[in-house]
Structure 1
Amino acid sequence: MKKIKPLLLIGILAFGLFSFSKMYFTPLYFDIPKGFPKPVYDFKNNPLTEEGFQLGRNLFYDPLLSRDNTISCASCHLQQTGFTHVDHDLSHGIEGRIGTRNSMTLMNLAWSKTFMWDGGVNHLDVQYLHPITSEVEMDETLLNVVKKLQENPKYPPLFKATFGTEKITGQLTLKAMSQFVVMLTTSNSKYDKVLRKEEQFSEMEQKGYAVFKQNCASCHQEPLFTNDGFENNGLPMDSTLNDIGRMRITQNKKDLQKFKVPTLRNVQFTFPYMHDGRFETLTEVIKHYNSGIEQSPTLSKELQKPMALTDNERTELVAFLKTLTDKEFLFNPRFSYPK
């Protein structure tokens, strides 16, 4: 792939006197892919450096962040599946505890204003507090995470290389994690190559693209394939989970059963689907939108009528969705477990 010319320099080359020795930081460039909007994330408050990226990468894959040192961020966010899990519908935490929702994918988060299925977090730098402190996920406190990091001989030097100090704080820990996660950008799928006129859709993929634009694009807006909003997509409420969605955060009845619109990028590999992982395949998902939508007062206005696709159109739509797979992203060694 031809490297996209950097459009935004967010790393800075900083140097100064720390503990009587000069420290140098290696800046990182954040490339805005052609056609993408301006990122939402404020890089000025957390300038990216190679040292920060590598520190965040180590933290992301370290089970030390959990109370019993068994669960890492990567336990529920596997790179090869779009940084989500595929082996069960609901997330699993320490001691085999089962959560109430399917883990969301981690990609192109520099463009996200809210996080979690219900939008309960509004800044990437504090997103990690939720899984760390959740009793069904990592069941730990940030204070104790900092204590464990400070006592681990591996981390003080990494923090000094990143921030110029060996004194580890919660704020620096969270910022370091963001420096890794915010770089998880995916923009080299076949779809992207077609837009760059490097490849062409097959006849079936082209027809599927037309079906997509007519039926799906209002919520899954290109090029991010999400509108970053919340919608009730007509799923019957699970009687066991009784998940009311965004209403849990806003306490507004108009938000009942509304959930964040997920990106469709790499959707071929991010199963199971929906906030509770109820669907195993894309075919099941399309079948729901085709004929399984449950009417309710908060149902998305875009879904008031089922899609009513033919069998051929459903097959074509799946073919197009598979063009959103970015294998360079899914297997990029830079995002994998640090060696």
Structure 2
Amino acid sequence: MKRNHWIAALICCLFIIACKKSEQLNDQVTSFLGFQKPANFPEPVYNFANNKVTKEGFELGRTLFYEGRLSRDNSISCGSCHIQSSAFTQHGHDVSHGIDDRLGTRNSPPIMNLAWNKAFMWGGGVFDLDLQPIVPITAHEEMDENLENVMAKLRLMPKYTALFKSAFGTSEINTARMMKALSQFMLMCVSSNSKYDRVMRKENNTSFTTEEQEGYMLFKQQCAACHTEPLFTDGSFRNNGLAPSPVNDLGLYTATLIDSDRYKFKVPSLRNLRYTAPYMHDGRHFSLTAVLEHYSSQVQDLPNLSPILQQSGKLGITLSATDKTKILAFLNTLNDETFINNSSLAEQ
């Protein structure tokens, strides 16, 4: 009799757990609102008319983002180099580590707020988010795969034929649909809930401390010309006076072959810097203190140096030790814990 009671109790517990999971799933279904523009952000530049974000498309994109079969030996996914807890960067690595532990030449950039990006990657060359994943999938040092092989592998899996049918109304798996699904996931990687955002939106009487406010004023004077609010990048490509790396990465020049583009790299967003070290296109600086030191005393007089960094006959930006402390205090208000802990963006 006691054994029967124990079995009945176990069945009851399992039923309760199943019901709770069902409730959570229903909550996720009802709470999915698609892409939402934050109130303090400008209009996105991505053309949503050609690829509306749907719950089914987003879920397919999320599954593909964490799918190792996009790589040659099925070991590397997008999520391998873009880790959510690191604001979708590969934390701790100066340059990306890909298949067979091959080293890239650049630091893995964060995936966030891509709906407002007009160009992608440190050195440019891609201007459409729906095409961007082709680069890492086919790059020798990243995933080292070709698209036909990826399609063949996905077509063998009933899971994907079902997901593609749910997202696009057909079980046919092709490159265009895969790219659109990945875009839908990446477009939903919106970071807009830092302290800075809450202050700008005047939420819950949130305000800067005195040090943060003074840092904000200094930031607007010294840094905002390139790191424009509220995205904290103007999306341009600039030579910021870094000495060329050992691999002599030519930056934007590689895509344009225009001499004046040599050693120009994309201006990164300053959001979530707490999670995205190391810094610069090649990850050469492991602290924000080192980054500020570069701009205050280490800028090189290079042929294509940004005019902003060579004013009044002086290289770089004049910053005292106190200035740096205040700017760092402000930069810390750009960290978004909600973003890195958003369970809907995690591998399911």
After TM superposition, is the score higher than 0.5? yes
Query: Which of residues 254, 262, 278 is equivalent to 1:256?
Result: 262
Unaligned runs of 5+ in 2: 1-30
Query: Which of residues 285, 296, 306 is equivalent to 1:279?
Result: 285
Counterpart position of 1:315: 325
Query: Which of residues 270, 294, 317 is equivalent to 1:288?
Result: 294
Counterpart position of 2:223: 216
CA distance in 2, matches of 1:263, 1:51: 29
CA distance in 1, matches of 2:124, 2:224: 21
Partner deviation per Cα, 1:157-192 (whole Å, 9 max, x = no partner): 000111111110111111111110011111110001
Partner deviation per Cα, 1:126-178 (whole Å, 9 max, x = no partner): 10000000010000011110110000121100001111111101111111111
Give 3-state SS (helix, strand or coil) of 2:158's partner: coil
CA drift of 1:28 comes to 4.3
CA distance in 1, matches of 2:277, 2:32: 35
Counterpart position of 1:266: 272
Alignment of 1:8-19 (within 5 A): none
Alignment of 1:1-339 (within 5 A): 28-198=33-203, 199-238=206-245, 240-304=246-310, 305-338=315-348
CA drift of 1:32 comes to 1.2
CA distance in 1, matches of 2:283, 2:277: 7
Q: Residue type matched to 2:79 in 1?
A: A
Q: Residue type matched to 1:189 in 2?
A: S
Give the TM-score, by structure 1 length.
Answer: 0.90
CA drift of 1:33 comes to 1.1
Counterpart position of 1:10: none
Structure 1 vs Structure 2 CA RMSD = 1.2
CA drift of 1:120 comes to 1.1
Give 3-state SS (helix, strand or coil) of 2:79's partner: helix
CA distance in 2, matches of 1:106, 1:181: 7
CA distance in 1, matches of 2:201, 2:251: 38
CA distance in 1, matches of 2:298, 2:48: 42
CA distance in 1, matches of 2:131, 2:292: 34
- Conservation of the 8 A alpha-carbon contact between 1:108 and 1:184: yes
CA distance in 1, matches of 2:195, 2:114: 21
- Conservation of the 8 A alpha-carbon contact between 1:32 and 1:38: yes
CA distance in 2, matches of 1:157, 1:263: 37
CA distance in 2, matches of 1:210, 1:27: 37
Give the TM-score, by structure 2 length.
Answer: 0.88
Partner deviation per Cα, 1:182-226 (whole Å, 9 max, x = no partner): 111111100011112231111111111111111100000001100
- Conservation of the 8 A alpha-carbon contact between 2:75 and 2:99: yes
CA distance in 2, matches of 1:273, 1:84: 11
Higher helix share: 2
Q: Residue type matched to 2:298 in 1?
A: G
CA drift of 1:302 comes to 0.8
CA drift of 1:246 comes to 0.4
CA distance in 2, matches of 1:214, 1:268: 22
CA distance in 1, matches of 2:73, 2:208: 49
CA distance in 2, matches of 1:253, 1:28: 46
CA distance in 2, matches of 1:182, 1:97: 28
- Conservation of the 8 A alpha-carbon contact between 1:28 and 1:48: no
CA distance in 2, matches of 1:327, 1:222: 19
Give 3-state SS (helix, strand or coil) of 2:274's partner: helix
